[in-house]
Amino acid sequence: MSKKIIIQKCNFNTIYFLFYIIAGIIENIIKYKYHPTTWEEPEPNNKVKYFLPYRILLLYASNLSDFLAIIPYFIRKKLLKSNKEIEKSKIYNLNNENEEKSESNQLIYNNIKDIQSTKRKKLIIIYTIIIATLDFLPYFTLCLYNIIFDDKQPYYNDFNCFVPLYNIFQFVSSYLILKMHFYKLQYFSLFLSIGLFIIILIFDLITIINEKAIDGYIYLFLILNYLFLAVEYSLGKRVMLYGYISIYLLLVIRGLFKIIIGIIFSLFLYIFDKEKFFGNMSYCLEGIKLFYFLFNIIIYFFESIFLWIIIDRFSPNHVPLAILIKQIVDFIISLIIIYNNNDSSSFNWDSYIRIFLYAILIIGVLIHNEIIVINICGLASDTKYFLDLKLKNEELYSDSDEPEVLQKFETIELEEKIKNDE
């Protein structure tokens, strides 16, 4: 093929990326209004004392949001039940003459199915406990940061090294947990992500050294968070593939275990220092802030649903693309806020370089997921696009009776044989 760059067509499922971005925009608007730095209070210098209760409340919002998945779960269950009843009636009418044979076969099938179902349920519970723990840990680490560093508000650069690092984490976790086979194009995007991570990390380290506002310790906590998420999404995909479990049921079970973990965590904080951790929580829920908290639960639910649908319909390796787009939208919103506040100091000297590097990173993620196929130096030889194209050509060759078509494919085979011999 003469084309060096091929852009794949988007299918209908791509709309879930858009839904995820819209939910992210609404979350940012709520965060801007609900975040402690925007609150008006009698003692402005003591705003930092509200960061830790705020983090704990976000943890509770995340836990409660998973239970909202029970609504689409029951809707889906009802629809599937009605479809199964229609299918059963059709099968019964078709096999009415062989009823005895069908019943004996069904009895054997059910015995095998029960054994497999019991084993599958145990594995689903084990995996879901791990998934719930991994989803709880990012919120826990941020709470831990505020506990260690005296309820401090962390600051870090836009377009930082976290997303390229998360791309690497997701690649490795998909390879180890899902046993996904990667080819030349995917390894090319992996090395590209590693290179971009190193370059952006250097810029981050320079900023941490030169600017006192940037806290280097938060980088250690956030790196762990992205690692937890990468493993969680890969394990979640494994549960859906192995256990035939829907994303809605997965979220409900995950929420149940997260509530248990959250209660244990809250009891520990309550016993350790009740006043420090929960003393100012009532202020975080006063007036309109209660509305923002409740709305956070709904937005967390939609974000989680759309992200897991992307994992289900595509793969965990498509999540970095969604996070990248969301981060760009976050940056645009922050620029609007900066413009409204007449504060140009937040746009640093290296911001233009970071934006350029992130543009390359987006291309790398698109290449990894074969949305963009590069047909250079044999990188595209094992891609789904070329394998499907080769299959179509073989079908056309086998079904064709036209001499011109047959001669064309014989010439292609001869050229490939000469290349292999060389």
**pLDDT tens-digit map of 189-198:** 899 999 999 9
Upper half-sphere CA count for residue 192 (Cβ side, 13 Å): 18
For residue 84, the model assigns a pLDDT of: 63
Secondary structure (3-state) at 372: strand
Let me know if residue 210 belongs to a domain. yes
Residue 256 burial class via C-beta count within 10 angstroms: exposed 0-12, middle 13-18, buried 19 and up: middle
The DSSP secondary-structure symbol of 377 reads T
Q: Is there a contact between 383 and 7 (Cβ–Cβ < 8 Å)?
A: no
Give me 252's structure tokens.
């409900």
Identify any residues that bridge with 372 across adjacent strands, giving them in sequence order.
7
Of 214, 224, 237, the C-alpha closest to 165 is: 224
How confident is the model at residue 108, as a pLDDT? Answer: 42
User: In terms of Cα–Cα distance, which of 230, 171, 114 is closest to 367?
Assistant: 171
DSSP string, 257-323: HHHHHHHHHHHHHHHHHHHHHHTTTTGGGSTHHHHHHHHHHHHHHHHHHHHHHHHHHS-GGGHHHHH
Q: Does 361 reside within a domain?
A: yes
Is 379 within a domain? no
Mean pLDDT of 323-348: 72
Distance in Å from the first CA to the final CA of the chain: 20
For helices 15-34 and 288-313, what crossing angle results, to 10°?
160
Which candidate, 314, 240, 256, places its Cα nearest to that of 306?
314
pLDDT digits over 89-146, tens only?
555 455 554 444 444 444 444 455 555 567 777 888 888 999 999 999 998 998 888 8
Cα 136 to Cα 131: distance, rounded to the nearest angstrom: 9
With respect to residue 264, please indicate whether it lies within any of the assigned structural domains: yes
Residue 408 included in any domain: no
Q: How far apart are CA 10 and CA 13, in angstroms?
A: 8
Instruction: Give the up-direction half-sphere exposure of residue 411: CA atoms within 13 A in the CB hemisphere.
Output: 6
In a domain, 8, yes or no: no
Range of 279's domain?
13-372
Q: Give the integer Cα–Cα distance in Å for 302 and 66.
A: 10
353 in helix, strand or coil? helix
* pLDDT for res 130: 93
pLDDT computed for residue 394 by the predictor:
52
C-beta of residue 189 within 8 angstroms of C-beta of residue 365: yes
- Give the integer Cα–Cα distance in Å for 300 and 231: 20
Query: Average pLDDT of 8-29?
Result: 85
Cα torsion 187, 188, 192, 197 to 10°: value is 0
**Residues near 66 by beta carbon (within 8 Å), at least 6 away in sequence:** 251, 252, 254, 255, 256, 258, 301, 304
Answer whether residue 256 shows pLDDT above 70.
Answer: yes
Strand 5-7 relative to strand 372-374, pairing:
antiparallel
| Residue 59 included in any domain | yes
- Which token pair is 128? 């879901």
Residue 148's pLDDT band, with cuts at 50, 70 and 90, is: confident
**Nearest CA among 3, 7, 4, 14 for reference residue 372:** 7
Please check whether residue 283 lies inside any domain of the structure.
Answer: yes
pLDDT of amino acid 306: 93
Structural domains in the chain (count): 1
What single-letter amino acid sits at 277? F
- pLDDT on residue 3: 65
Of 42-46, 64-68, 157-161, 356-360, the range with the lowest mean pLDDT is 42-46
Neighbour-count burial of 361, counting CB atoms closer than 10 A to its CB (0-12 exposed, 13-18 middle, 19+ buried): buried
Q: Structure tokens of 379?
A: 């990188």
Model confidence at 73, pLDDT cuts 50, 70, 90, reads confident
Q: What is the pLDDT of the chain when averaged over all its residues?
A: 77
Q: Would you state the pLDDT for residue 387?
A: 53
Give Cβ neighbours of residue 232 (< 8 Å, ≥ 6 apart). 131, 134, 135
Q: What is the pLDDT of residues 199-241, one digit of tens each?
A: 999 988 888 888 766 677 888 888 999 999 999 999 999 988 8
